[in-house]
Chain A
Amino acid sequence: DQQVKQNSPSLSVQEGRISILNCDYTNSMFDYFLWYKKYPAEGPTFLISISSIKDKNEDGRFTVFLNKSAKHLSLHIVPSQPGDSAVYFCAASVYNQGGKLIFGQGTELSVKP
């Protein structure tokens, strides 16, 4: 029972272009969504989050969009840089459960110069 799904295991993008990473969820109780970035041999690093009362949150080059009716969220990175190459994890939680995060399988992003 995979409640959070990232259907694309990998994505390759040219430097300077937009990267779009997608995530779907099944549990309608989720009300808080996050994206993490992970480099090899390191722990996941928090990137950006969004509450279910919003449909968009922006932080610099990173924007997360939430479509509750479709149970879908996406992360846009504009412009993409080679240093963005990493595995990106989508995560979801029920906020009053204090951050118990359910993770997707991850998407490996490769940004080519």
Chain B
Amino acid sequence: DAGVIQSPRHEVTEMGQEVTLRCKPISGHDYLFWYRQTMMRGLELLIYFNNNVPIDDSGMPEDRFSAKMPNASFSTLKIQPSEPRDSAVYFCASSARGPAFFGQGTRLTVV
């Protein structure tokens, strides 16, 4: 298996634009997580899904953030409109209980 695949690896966008981050989890994993890493807050959980259903989105910072999982092999995290303070590395991870396995991350820069 190729592991968790995220795209793009890097994204630079202007403030106010819509940003969509993509994730393909490991096949057979029924949990999917979106994390964000910043210097100030470290690695924080934004939202997680079980069997494509959002279970806990209490970490989503505000309504500008939304996440979907239309099927077991694909998830998106959307920011609309983006702001400079959204600049961070966004990680997707998946698990089948037990340890979560992470993708390489998307480095988002909002200018």
Contact = CB atoms under 8 A, between A and B. Distances in A.
Interface of A: 34, 36, 41-46, 49, 89, 95, 98-106
Given A43-B91, A46-B99, A101 B45 contact: yes
Interface stretch (B14-22, B73-81, B102-110): B102-110
Contacts of A105: 42
Contacts of A99: 31, 33, 95, 97-100
Contact of A44 (B30, B50, B56, B102): B102
A103 B42 CA distance: 8
A42 B42 contact: no
B76 to A, nearest CB: 18
A105 B39 CA distance: 9
A17 B58 CA distance: 42
B91 A101 contact: no
A107 to B, nearest CB: 12
A100 B50 CA distance: 11
Contacts, number: 54
A101 B48 CA distance: 10
Contacts of A103: 35, 42-44
A102 B42 contact: no
A100 B48 contact: yes
B66 to A, nearest CB: 19
> Residue among B93, B97, B100, B104 with the most chain A CB within 10 A?
B100
A64 B61 CA distance: 33
Contacts of A95: 97
Contacts of B101: 46
Interface in B81-102: 91, 93, 95, 97-102
A104 B43 CA distance: 8
Contacts of B30: 98
7 contacts: A43-B4, A43-B91, A43-B105, A49-B99, A98-B30, A98-B31, A100-B48
A45 to B, nearest CB: 7
